[in-house]
C-alpha cells in the first residue's frame, strides 16, 4: 500500500492500509513503533517496556522499576511484538528479548493527528479556508461593502497567502506529529 511522505509523495509499503490502521489502533504498538523509529536501532525489550511504561504513567523512565513495567513487558512479548513481527514491521527475537526495526518500519511514515480540546482537524480547516476564499472572491467581484476597494489581484494575493501560511503550519505540525520524530509520542506531547 502507500504511505505519505512529508512532502505528500508516496512510497511502496508492503502492508495494506487496513492492516496499518489495525496495527496503529493499539496505543502500545504505536508507542513501540515510535520508540523504534526514534532510536533507529535494535532495542532490548526491557528498555522498550520501561520507556512505554514511563510514557503511559507520565513519569521519567529512571523511576520505573521491574514491578512497574512487568505488565507492559508481558503484553509486549506475548501479543504486540509477535504481531508486529508477523507483519514484518519489526524483527523480534523472543530468546534474546531484542526487537529491531525493519525496512518496512522505515517505510511506514505515519503521523498521528492528535486533537485536544476544541481543535479541528486539518481537513475541516482547509474546507473552511476554501469557503472563505470563495466568499472573498465573490465579495470582490460584486463589490460588496468593505470589499469594493479591493481588486481581483488583491483578493488572489490574500487567498494564496492564506493557503501558503496554512500549508507551512500544517507541515510544521505534521512533522511534530510524525511517529519517531521527537522524544515523546505525538499523543503525549504538550502534556504536563
The model's pLDDT over 123-178, given as tens digits with 9 standing for 90+, comes to 888 999 999 999 999 999 998 988 888 888 998 998 999 999 999 988 887 777 77
CB 53 within 8 A of CB 68: yes
Which one is the CATH code of 17-115: 1.10.3470, 1.10.287, 1.10.10, 1.20.120? 1.10.10
Of the two residues 85 and 177, the one the predictor is more confident about is: 85
Question: What are the extents of the domains in the chain?
Answer: 17-115, 122-175
Is the Cβ–Cβ distance between 70 and 53 less than 8 Å?
Answer: no
DSSP string, 36-56: HHHH-S-EEHHHHHHHHHHHH
Rounded to the nearest 5 degrees, what angle is found at the Cα of 127, between the Cα atoms of 125 and 132? 95
Contact assessment for residue 105 and residue 123, using Cβ atoms and an 8 Å cutoff:
no
The pLDDT, as a whole number, for residue 8 is 38
Q: How far apart are CA 157 and CA 153, in angstroms?
A: 6
Amino acid at each position: 500500500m502507500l504511505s505519505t511522505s512529508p512532502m505528500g509523495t508516496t512510497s511502496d509499503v508492503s502492508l495494506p492500509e487496513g492492516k496499518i490502521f489495525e496495527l496503529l489502533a493499539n496505543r502500545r504498538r504505536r508507542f513501540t513503533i515510535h520508540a523504534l523509529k526514534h532510536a533507529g536501532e535494535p532495542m532490548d525489550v526491557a528498555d522498550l517496556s520501561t520507556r512505554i511504561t514511563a510514557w503511559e504513567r507520565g513519569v521519567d523512565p529512571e523511576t520505573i522499576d521491574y514491578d512497574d513495567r512487568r505488565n507492559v513487558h508481558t503484553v509486549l512479548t506475548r501479543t504486540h511484538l509477535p504481531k508486529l513481527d508477523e507483519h514484518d514491521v519489526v524483527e523480534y527475537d523472543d530468546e534474546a528479548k531484542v526487537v529491531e526495526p525493519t525496512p518496512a518500519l522505515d517505510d511506514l511514515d505515519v503521523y498521528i493527528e492528535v486533537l485536544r480540546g476544541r481543535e479541528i482537524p486539518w481537513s475541516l480547516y482547509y474546507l473552511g479556508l476554501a469557503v472563505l476564499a470563495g466568499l472573498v472572491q465573490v465579495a470582490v467581484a460584486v463589490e460588496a461593502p468593505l470589499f469594493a476597494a479591493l481588486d481581483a489581484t488583491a483578493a488572489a494575493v490574500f487567498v494564496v497567502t492564506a493557503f501558503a501560511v496554512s500549508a507551512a503550519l500544517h507541515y510544521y505540525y505534521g512533522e511534530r506529529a510524525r511517529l519517531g520524530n521527537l522524544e515523546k509520542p505525538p499523543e503525549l506531547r504538550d502534556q504536563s
